[in-house]
Structures are given as structure tokens and as C-alpha cells.
Amino acid sequence: MRQRLRDPVTGLLFVLPMLVLFLIFKIFPTLGAAGMSLTNWNIGGEWSFVGADNYARLLDDVTFWTSLRVTLVYAAVYVPLTVVVALGTALLLNQVVFLRGLFRGMLFLPYVTSFVLAGIIWRWIYEYSGLINGLLAKADLGPVPFLEQSALVLPALAVVSVWKGFGYSMLILLAGLKSIPGTYLEAATVDGASPWQRFRRITLPLLKPTLFFVLVIETIGAFQTFDTIYVMTGGGPARATYTLIYGIYDHGFRSFDFGYAATWGMVLFAIVLVVSLVQRRLLDRGNT
């Protein structure tokens, strides 16, 4: 019995520190937010149980439905663009032999840059007197209000987030590409398969588990985007960038209505969970 229990207990001891941190900083706060969403908790620590009143209020809140639409549109732009850019750069790096580490470091560098610093730099790039509009002016195309026009501001912010965050997914996908046996691709090449056929029939199917992980983390990141919006637009113009996470900040740290802010957070948690499960179902039919 001791022999059979030794390996599981040893493994548990190795993961116990991270498990404790996960419980403290993930599980317990989530349970606390779920309980807080059933109260009218305020900044003074005073609260009373209100049951489902916050959720009923949420359903009648026009601001919530606006923020939900904005969040979904942003995710629909950001996630596919990030995956395509990360996968494309990973495929290129997988073919590079000379100075591979240098190129990998250069492409990963934006990921370790501060979101606030990146937001300030890109806000200058998008301004009327900034880099992009300066180049457009030389081509007589006129200034473009990237951050002032509701139809352009979300794609503009998505580009910033892609530039800032694709490096992490690129490394994950690159590791997935390295795990694919080279003999499969060599055999397909000998059989006359084109590069596109090798990618579609061999690389992409074997990359599905890694691709699923990247889709999940990028979707979660899209729903949690805050820093870039806070620095560059502040939820505007006309709440065109007022996402769910920005609404949580607005209600919690501006209005100090923590109970209602927690309600927004629980709805966001449920949405991310459902989207992740749907992605898993569609991507690999439960075989990941």
C-alpha cells in the first residue's frame, strides 16, 4: 500500500505550493465574488443580502448590454487576428535556422512591454499628428480619426493588443510545431504533397491541442482587456470601447457599488466558461 501511494503523494507534494496559490488567488476570490454579487456591498464594508436583485438589475441595464456587445465585437476581431499572426510567425520561425534565437527574442519583446507604455506609444501613433496620420498626409489621404470614430476604435485597439500579446502564443505554437515528428512531413514531401497540403493534412491536425490552448487563453485575454482601453480611450468615444471588464472597474472603483460590480464579474466568468467549452467542442470534438 505504501508503495502504491508513494508516487501520487510525491507528485501532490510537488504541486502543492502552486495549488495553494491557485486556491488563494483564484478559487477563493471567485467564490467570494459569487457571494458578494448577492449583496449590496459598499466601500464602507457595510452590506445586506439582496438575493438575485443585482442580476435582475443587470438584465434591465442598457449599459450592460452595450458593454457585452462591445466585448463580443472586440473578441471577434482580436482572437482570430492574434491566432493568425502568432501561427504565421511561429511557422516562419520554425523554418529559420540562422539567428533563430535573435528573431524569437525580437518578436517576443512587445509581450514583456508594459501595457501602459504600449498604450501611450500607440495613442501617439494613432493621433492626428502621429506616425500613421503623418504618413497618410504625405500620400494626401488625410487624417483618420482612429480613436475618435466608433467604427474604427475597436479594430485600432485590437491591433495594439495583437502587437502587444501575440508573442506568448507564438512561442506556445512554436513549441507545438517542434513536437511534430519530422518524419511525417518528410514522407509527405516524398509523396509529392505541396506545402499547403502538408500544413492542412499533417501540421494543423497535430497542432490542434496546442491551438485549442492558444484559443482559450486568447479568448480569456480578449474578455479581460482593460489596460489598453483605460490608457487610450477610457471607454469612449460614446462608450464604443466600454467593455465588460471596464464596466466592472467603473461600478466597483468609481461608483463603489461592489455588489453590482461582482455581478458583472460573475456574468463575465460564466461567458468565458461557456465560450471555452464551445471552443473545445468545435475544435477537436472532445479529443484534446
pLDDT digit string (tens) for the chain, length 288 residues: 666 767 778 888 889 999 999 999 989 999 999 999 999 988 777 888 998 999 999 999 999 999 999 999 999 999 999 999 999 999 999 888 777 788 888 999 999 888 888 888 999 999 888 888 888 888 888 788 888 888 899 999 999 999 999 999 999 999 999 988 888 888 888 888 888 888 888 888 899 889 988 988 999 899 988 988 999 998 888 889 999 999 999 999 988 999 999 999 999 999 988 988 887 777 655 454
User: Which CATH number among 3.10.20.90, 2.60.120.430, 1.10.3720.10, 2.40.110.10 corresponds to the domain 61-284?
Assistant: 1.10.3720.10
Number of C-beta neighbours around residue 229 at 10 A: 26
Beta carbons of 207 and 198 less than 8 angstroms apart: no
Residue 122 CA to its chain's centroid (Å): 19
Give the Cα separation of 88 and 82 in Å (integer).
10
Give the Cα separation of 129 and 122 in Å (integer).
12
Give the Cα separation of 154 and 147 in Å (integer).
8
Beta carbons of 264 and 251 less than 8 angstroms apart: yes
CA 15 vs CA 6, 10, 30, 133, 205: distances in Å: 15, 9, 21, 52, 31
Give the Cα separation of 213 and 285 in Å (integer).
14
pLDDT at 61: 92
Give the three cell numbers for residue 174.
512554436
- Cα dihedral across residues 58, 61, 64, 66: positive or negative: positive
Give the Cα separation of 230 and 122 in Å (integer).
13
Return the exposure string of 96-120: e unless at least 16 CB atoms fall within 10 Å of the residue's CB, then b: eeeeeeeebeebeeebeeebeebbe
Q: CA nearest 210: which of 166, 165, 185, 180? A: 180
3-state percent helix, strand, coil for the chain, nearest multiple of 5: 75, 0, 25
Give the Cα separation of 208 and 279 in Å (integer).
11
Give the three cell numbers for residue 73.
465585437
Kindly list the domain boundaries of the chain, sorted by start residue: 61-284
Give the three cell numbers for residue 179.
513536437
pLDDT at 288: 45
